[in-house]
Amino acid sequence: MMAYHVSLVNTDKKDISSKLIMNKEKFREFLFREFNIKEELNENGVLEFYYDKNDPSFTIFYTEGIEGEYYINTTDDNCIKKLISIAEKLNDGTRVRGDEGETYNSLEDTYIHSDDEYLFKNTTKEKWFYFFRNPSIKIGIFIGIIVCLIQILFFK
């Protein structure tokens, strides 16, 4: 069975500096204090992941360079519930988003957050249109047509 990618995100741009999830050190302290979480560091002392001391299957990953987005890869509903409880405890606009763009209020209650609506606006027709908006594609097609015409006209 393939794992489900579930993220802890905060897309609220108001007073971003006050969001715990945006400050790695404060978020780390919060997880240790409120959720009995430990961390695993690599040989260079860089964060690899967080895990629950009582349930090592609950593992939160962080990708360096993507500030304020932590994620789990799981099919376990209890792990998703735990991530939801972390977001609720933060109580600052942080939410849980599934890999299909849905935001979780609970396992049974999901919705599309207004900040994520862009994920659902691209239809096949729009994607085709954006394909031709790329200048490199236009130039490539133009050069291809010219080459074909030269071959037809001069190299029969």
| Lookup: tokens for 83 | 């991530």
Q: Alpha carbon 106 to chain centroid distance?
A: 19
- 2-17 in b/e burial notation, b at 16+ Cβ within 10 A? eebebbbbbbeeeeee
Ordered by start, the domain boundaries in the chain are 5-120, 123-155
What is the tens place of the pLDDT at every residue in 41-66? Answer: 889 888 889 999 899 889 999 877 67
95 close to 10: Cβ distance less than 8 angstroms: yes
pTM for the model: 0.72
Question: Which residues lie closer than 8 Å to 129 by C-beta, 6 or more apart?
Answer: none
What is the tens place of the pLDDT at every residue in 77-130? Answer: 999 999 999 999 999 989 999 988 899 999 999 999 988 887 777 555 455 555
Question: Which residues lie closer than 8 Å to 92 by C-beta, 6 or more apart?
Answer: 10, 12, 18, 19, 20, 21
